[in-house]
Amino acid sequence: MRFLLIALVLFLTASAVFGFDPGPLPGIKIKNGLLYLIVLGLMLRVTLDRSYRAQLLGVPILFGIMIGYALFTFAAIVMVINYPRYDPLFAIFQLKNQLIDHLLFFLVFFYGLRSNEDALTVLKVLLAAWAVSHIVAVLDATGVFHIGDIEQRSDGRVQGAVGESNMYGAFVAFTLPATIAMMTITRGMWRIFWMAASVITAAVLLMTVSRGAFVATAFATLYGVWLFRRYMNSRKLLQWAALGLAGAVLVGIVVLSLGFGDLLYSRLTLGEAGDLTTQSSGRTAIWTSVLRVMFETPLTLLTGYGWEAYGTFPFRWVTHNHYLQQFFNLGLVGLIGSVLLLVVPIRTANAAANYARPDVRPMLIAFAIGTIALATAVFFVNLYTPWLYYWSYAGIVMRLAANALEPQAHAPAAVTARAQRRGERSRDPHGWTAAS
């Protein structure tokens, strides 16, 4: 199963970065075949393995509620409401692509992996694939060569295979913490590789010049330090602050040497002064118009207009806000569900960090910080392709979390997390110890 998951990661990355997506027929691709093959294997395992037990049901339940409600509203639109320009076939394919496939990617990586060793192996492959995609984006932006669908925007900002600059910035923001964390659990040449990958990833983040991604990264860093302060004493915080400052200087030198200084200055200073609409790149006007339409029919504040109904309204732009789009289409179910789908993995990783092995804990912390960054970034942008990467990543890390949490259900009540952390202080080689 591990090798099938690695193959799925490689084909998913190759199809996005290099435009390499072979298959016998349109819509029937190797990565889709691998996904459904793994799903079939998991179904057989559930049927034949008497020791199988469902774990961490929060994410599947939330997805199930959203899928069920989306199907209900889809049926209501098709049979009762009949919106003009509503394409039922397109809508049902979008439901499959945006909800069902996300759930499947989470499930195959979560239940397809069992041991920490397998999960860490697949995680390293996934992060290395992301690092390669960032390297390709830099090489393309600097004109070294052109690969696949990656291209530089007309305004000079870098965009990647997963989407335009703001979408790509959100993707880079949630991959950066995991790449940095890999430095703490590797040695030798691999540590050098992850150090280089961290610098390149941070440089790409700046080269996207996405203000939403910058805000998300800053907020996630500050909130993550506060959330996991129990593992960071004052000395460790100073060390990481010094390393972060040195890394920021190095990244700044790289970005300025590539000629992105003027673009960064103009975007961050907002050019000429303007009103809130201008400073937000028109987002506040978009959000206001969407909410105005909803308030014209107050019931939709509860129910939404139905699955994929947004495209049938005469809006000029997409919502540029993931939560607002879910709210418009699925009402409170979509809004609350989309928020909880990000909150539940963060809380799970936070709880599992109390019991995780020293080589696993940094990855749990990095995942939580990366998810906080993603949850912040999608307040300013709609994501599409990056969600497949996120839910693959979430499935792997939630396996690590489940393995850390599972033994605690049978542990004596007297063995507390604090006592366990005290016992790990002497053998933690990575410095992730509890604060004194």
Q: Which residues of 201-230 are buried (b: 16+ CB within 10 A; e: fewer)?
A: bbbbbbbbbbbbbbbbbebbbebbeebbee
- Structural domain harbouring 76: 2-424
Q: What is the pLDDT of residue 337?
A: 96
pLDDT band at 46 (very low <50, low <70, confident <90, very high): confident
Q: Is 432 a domain residue?
A: no
pLDDT band at 413 (very low <50, low <70, confident <90, very high): very low
Q: How many domains is the chain partitioned into structurally?
A: 1
Instruction: Report pLDDT digits (tens) over 77-130.
Output: 999 988 888 999 999 999 998 999 999 999 999 999 989 999 999 999 999 998
Q: Is pLDDT of 265 > 80?
A: no
Cα separation, 135 vs 193, in Å, equals 12
pLDDT band at 208 (very low <50, low <70, confident <90, very high): confident
Q: Is 435 a domain residue?
A: no
Q: What is the pLDDT of residue 416?
A: 44
Q: Is 433 a domain residue?
A: no
Q: What is the pLDDT of residue 60?
A: 95
Q: Are 51 and 280 in contact (CB under 8 A)?
A: no
Q: Is 10 a domain residue?
A: yes
- As a residue count, the chain comes to 436
Report pTM. Answer: 0.86
Cα separation, 353 vs 363, in Å, equals 9
Q: What is the pLDDT of residue 229?
A: 87
Q: Is pLDDT of 170 > 70?
A: yes
Mean per-residue pLDDT over the chain, rounded: 82
More reliable by pLDDT, 256 or 212: 212
Q: What is the mean pLDDT of residues 274-298?
A: 78
Cα separation, 197 vs 60, in Å, equals 33
Q: What is the pLDDT of residue 143?
A: 64
Cα separation, 87 vs 79, in Å, equals 13
Q: Is 145 a domain residue?
A: yes
Q: What is the dihedral of CA 14, 112, 394, 423, to 10 degrees?
A: -130
Cα separation, 211 vs 220, in Å, equals 14
